[in-house]
Amino acid sequence: ASLITDGTNHPSSLPLRRKITMTSSHALISNLTKDWIEIMERWQLHLFWIPPAIITFATLIVNPALLMCIFMSPALRRETRYLLVANTLIADILFLFSKLVTMIGNTVRAEIPWFVCQLFTALSVTTSSCTVITVTLMVIDTFTAVRWPLQYHNLVSPARTSGILGVVWLMCTIYPVTLMMMAMKDEIPNNKVALCLTLLSFGFFKAKNMRGIEMYFFVSAVIFTFLICYCYIRLYMVTRTQGIWNRRFSRARVTVLIHGVLLLLYFVPGLVFASEIHIFKEKNISQELVWISTVNANVFMMLPRAFTPWLYGLRYREISENLALLRHRRRESTVS
């Protein structure tokens, strides 16, 4: 009798319980996917995939060219601001690559392995977080250059900047990869899904870890908001006596405004995604949630990736000159 009573804790029952958990998790993911696809087909929301496809192909052509200009020039590699721009471009390339692959798979309704979907989800979250932090570092870099002009090059040397960027990538990778490993531990590796979306990937953690995910995004938003506001307020206080705010089109003023616009464009999708997680927690799959998620993923998240090469890359005279030089050399080699 004692053996029967304690059977739920017996080691032989663990594989059975694990199988039941896996089956229920697979059923949850399958149901969420079916509901999402049904709403998308009802409202023809797959048409929202056309603009990001165009932006992705254009950006994947421009960004590598700008990276070549930066890394092939020893002078640009020694400038902190260009290293930060390069890191932003690299993060955007990886984000757009993951977006393109999942978008193609979703369009053709390919059965994507759950592990691969989790991998692209981790890559998307990592690169998005890295981009926001890097643009925040650009504001801090501008503030440092204005506040301590004589000590600037010693404070933010290229070697120190590279080390900081390495730490940023490590910090941005830890949490998404940890979530992915937890999913792989509790899920059947051979499961496949017909729709790979970041929000649906987080659906697996709905019962156990959704509060931790909400806390992660909330704390990140608070920290970034504090850093950005502090740097902008201090930057304005330091520069208001220098007359740059009196000249409408001064280079310093335009630089600060560009930082502000891109920070807003990169930051808002993260806040919208945090609201998506909250709605998903309260209502599961709803028509409003699918609309918000589709617009956020295919419009809001794509806008900063479309503007960054032009606002940052081609605006800097040194980069545009190097790009023109590369085009000239290529034209000469083609003619010869």
Is the pLDDT reported for residue 242 higher than 70? no
Taking all residues of the chain, what is their mean pLDDT, rounded to a whole number? Answer: 81
pLDDT bin (cut points 50, 70, 90) of residue 14 is very low
Structure token pair of residue 208: 């156990």
pLDDT value at residue 204: 62
pLDDT bracket for residue 25 (50, 70, 90): low
Lowest-pLDDT range of 17-31, 149-163, 172-186: 17-31
- Asked whether the predicted pLDDT for residue 336 surpasses 70, the reply is no
pLDDT range class, residue 297, cuts 50, 70, 90 = very high
Predicted confidence band of residue 324 (pLDDT cuts 50, 70, 90) = confident
Mean pLDDT, residues 254-265:
81
Model confidence at 289, pLDDT cuts 50, 70, 90, reads very high
Map out the domains of the chain as residue ranges.
13-323
Q: What is the pLDDT of residues 190-241, one digit of tens each?
A: 678 888 888 887 766 654 556 666 677 777 778 877 877 887 787 777 777 6
Most confident segment among 43-52, 113-122, 162-171, 246-255: 162-171
Who wins on pLDDT, 293 or 274?
Answer: 293
Q: Which CATH superfamily is domain 13-323 in?
A: Rhodopsin 7-helix transmembrane proteins (1.20.1070.10)
Task: Give residue 231's pLDDT.
Answer: 75
- Percentages helix, strand, coil for the chain (3-state, rounded to 5) are 85, 0, 15
Please state whether 156 falls in left (phi above 0), alpha (psi between -120 and 50) or beta: beta
pLDDT over 90, % of the chain: 30
Q: Which pLDDT score is estimated for 189?
A: 53
Contact in structure between 298 and 53 (CB atoms under 8 Å): no
- Residue 9 banded pLDDT, cuts 50, 70, 90: very low
Span 86-106, average pLDDT: 94
pLDDT value at 24 more than 60: no
Question: Which of 126-140, 214-228, 237-251 is most confident?
Answer: 126-140
Distances (CA, A) of 89 to 60, 74, 86, 309: 10, 18, 5, 8
Mean pLDDT comparison of 99-113, 237-251, 315-329, highest-scoring range:
99-113
pLDDT band at 298 (very low <50, low <70, confident <90, very high): very high
- Tell me: pLDDT of 314 over 60: yes
Q: 159 or 184: which carries more pLDDT confidence?
A: 159
Say which residue, 35 or 332, is predicted with more confidence: 35
Between CA 180 and CA 286 the distance in angstroms is 25
Using CA atoms, how far apart are residues 237 and 280, in angstroms rounded to an integer?
42
Q: State the pLDDT at residue 56.
A: 92
**pLDDT at residue number 162:** 94
The rounded distance, in Å, linking the Cα atoms of 293 and 198 is 10
75-98 burial string, b = 16+ CB within 10 Å, else e? ebeebbbbbbbbbbbbbbbbbbbb
